[in-house]
């Protein structure tokens, strides 16, 4: 539906921005402590980042059923499920830390992945009541809510990570509180109610199947570019706390670097939508891929704090352009009745690759060389083939006949 009055959409965007800020604060917290907690409980250093991998795996396996569920019952219903699962997951993880059980920590991480999947649909919910003109701006504004989460999460983590004798126990308890308090925001959303219980009219449009949608060039390229942007960001960010501590710096340095990274992920969202409207989505995605490559170059030139800060800031900026651009491209490449199938398929593929990236991150960081520097080098070199894949897909799309794109 092409909405012409964006009053309703702007109200929803405001609520989603607050949700992104408050509930989203848990993600930088968990990404800082996940690998460190895993390294503390796992007997194999190659498995240190497995808690983060389980979060992403949980998100990947949740998206295929959560997206259709929200189409039937409404977005708000799915968001409540996500926040509740995030609270339970944090409490289970806290219990795993308390009894020093790596499997229980992983179980809690998987439940956190259900929240991560639900949060991923905030950006799509922003488009549900938006006009075509407001759509890229709505996505950008919601993503900009991460600006506050970038400040709240790591700074809160500094206060609570050592609050108990068991390291990081306070962090997981704080995450549970963020979920339980933040879910109240969803009562203020005014989104479509879903199709559950509504009989279909005889002339109700029937959407294309998954294979047909994947054969659509614009859908396929949007998924590839979103997948590469998110996976490479996760690959490098997951290893960053391990690399920072391994190179002789402390946990607070790691918190501050991740905070700068998350700020870089979301600050550009205030103008990314405007840039897409002015220059076109393909140029913005391509710019994001170039910036991601620049992050790898900076990381490979040294392991000083300056290098870590600069590389992670570029990584966040590149993710912003690449992922928001790919999301915008996808949102305009399918019909309304295909929304649930396309978005669920997109997030399953994207987070499937992110799961692989987070698994590879720990192995590359801890098991590909004798030192932290060698591991960090391996992590950043691993970006190259995926950047080539995404770049080639954009070139291929540009060469398609105009009507096919």
Give the pLDDT of residue 141: 83
Q: Which one has a higher pLDDT value, 404 or 225? A: 225
Q: Following CA atoms 64, 68, 73, 76 in sequence, which dihedral angle do they give, to the nearest 10 degrees?
A: 50
Residue 200 pLDDT greater than 50, yes or no? no
- Write down the pLDDT at residue 380: 95
Q: Would you kindly state where each structural domain of the chain is located, as residue ranges? A: 7-192+210-398
Written as six digits, the tokens of 242 are 């391990």
Number of Cβ within a 10 Å radius of residue 155: 15
Q: Is the pLDDT of residue 227 over 50?
A: yes
**pLDDT at residue 120 above 60?**
yes
Band of residue 80 on the pLDDT scale cut at 50, 70, 90: very high
Both tokens assigned to 240: 């960053």
CA–CA gap between residue 175 and residue 154 (Å, rounded) = 12
Tell me the CA distances in angstroms from 63 to 68, 343, 347, one per residue in order. 9, 8, 6
Stronger pLDDT, 4 or 224, i.e. the higher one: 224
Mean pLDDT of the chain: 87
**Phi, psi dihedrals of residue 278, rounded to the nearest 5°:** -85, -45
CB count, 10 Å around CB of 88?
A: 17
Distances in Å between the Cα of 350 and the Cα atoms of 233, 301, 347, 357 are 12, 29, 5, 11
The rounded distance, in Å, linking the Cα atoms of 379 and 360 is 8
Q: At what angle do helices 251-266 and 146-160 cross, to 10 degrees?
A: 170
What pLDDT, in 10s, does the model give residues 366-389?
Answer: 887 778 899 999 999 999 999 999
Centre a 10 Å sphere on the Cβ of residue 129 and count the other Cβ atoms it contains.
Answer: 23
Whether the pLDDT of residue 202 is over 70: the answer is no
Q: Answer whether residue 198 shows pLDDT above 50.
A: no
Contact 345, 331 (CB under 8 A): no
- Smallest Cα–Cα separation from 263: which of 315, 323, 322, 327? 315
pLDDT value, residue 124: 79
Structure tokens, 218: 């614009």
Distances in Å between the alpha carbon of 149 and those of 33, 258, 259, 342?
A: 16, 11, 9, 28
The rounded Cα 331 to chain-centroid distance in angstroms is 17
Q: Which residues fall within 8 angstroms of residue 211, CB to CB, at 6 or more apart?
A: none
- The rounded distance, in Å, linking the Cα atoms of 315 and 157 is 22
Flag whether pLDDT at 403 surpasses 80: no
Give the sign of the dihedral formed by CA 106, CA 33, CA 299, CA 285.
Answer: positive
Nearest to 146 by CA among 322, 264, 63: 264
CATH no. for 7-192+210-398:
1.20.1250.20
Q: Are 15 and 185 in contact (CB under 8 A)?
A: yes
Q: Using the predicted structure, report yes or no on whether residue 62 has a pLDDT greater than 80.
A: yes
pLDDT of residue 194: 67
pTM across the whole model: 0.74
Q: State how far the alpha carbon of 121 is from the alpha carbons of 37, 59, 78, 215, 282, in Å.
A: 28, 11, 9, 23, 22
Residues ≥6 apart with Cβ < 8 Å to 227: 349, 350, 353, 354
pLDDT digits (tens, 9 = 90+) for 122-137: 877 888 888 877 877 7
Q: 399: pLDDT confidence band, cut at 50, 70 and 90?
A: confident
């Amino acid at each position: 539906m092409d909405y012409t009055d964006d009053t309703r959409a702007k109200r929803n965007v405001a609520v989603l921005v607050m949700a992104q800020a408050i509930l989203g604060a848990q993600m930088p917290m968990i990404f800082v402590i996940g690998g460190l907690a895993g390294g503390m409980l796992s007997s194999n250093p190659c498995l240190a980042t497995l808690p983060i991998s389980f979060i992403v795996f949980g998100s990947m396996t949740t998206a295929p059923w959560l997206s259709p569920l929200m189409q039937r019952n409404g977005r708000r219903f799915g968001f409540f499920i996500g926040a509740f699962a995030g609270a339970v997951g944090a409490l289970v993880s806290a219990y795993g830390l308390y009894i020093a059980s790596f499997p229980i920590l992983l179980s809690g991480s998987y439940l956190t992945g259900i929240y991560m999947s639900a949060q991923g649909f905030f950006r799509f919910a922003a488009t549900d009541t938006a006009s075509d003109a407001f759509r890229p701006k709505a996505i950008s504004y919601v993503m900009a809510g991460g600006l506050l989460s970038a400040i709240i999460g790591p700074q809160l983590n500094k206060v609570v990570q050592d609050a108990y004798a068991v390291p990081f126990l306070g962090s997981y308890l704080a995450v549970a509180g963020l979920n339980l308090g933040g879910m109240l925001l969803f009562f203020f959303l005014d989104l479509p109610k879903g199709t559950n219980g509504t009989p279909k009219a005889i002339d109700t449009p029937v959407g294309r199947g998954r294979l047909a949608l994947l054969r659509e060039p614009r859908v396929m390229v949007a998924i590839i570019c979103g997948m590469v942007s998110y996976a490479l960001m996760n690959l490098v960010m997951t290893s960053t706390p391990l690399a920072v501590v391994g190179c002789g710096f402390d946990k607070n340095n790691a918190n501050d670097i991740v905070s700068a990274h998350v700020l870089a992920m979301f600050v550009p969202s205030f103008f990314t939508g405007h840039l897409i409207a002015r220059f076109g989505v393909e140029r913005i995605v391509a710019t994001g891929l170039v910036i991601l490559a620049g992050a790898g170059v900076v990381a490979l030139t040294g392991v000083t704090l300056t290098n870590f800060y600069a590389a992670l800031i570029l990584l966040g900026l590149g993710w912003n352009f690449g992922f928001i651009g790919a999301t915008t491209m996808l949102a305009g490449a399918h019909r309304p009745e295909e929304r649930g199938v396309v978005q669920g398929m997109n997030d399953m593929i994207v987070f499937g690759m992110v799961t692989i990236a987070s698994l590879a991150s720990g192995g590359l960081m801890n098991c590909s060389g004798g030192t932290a520097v060698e591991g960090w080098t391996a992590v950043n070199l691993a970006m190259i083939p995926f950047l080539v894949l995404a770049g080639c897909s954009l070139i291929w799309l540009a060469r398609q006949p105009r009507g096919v794109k």
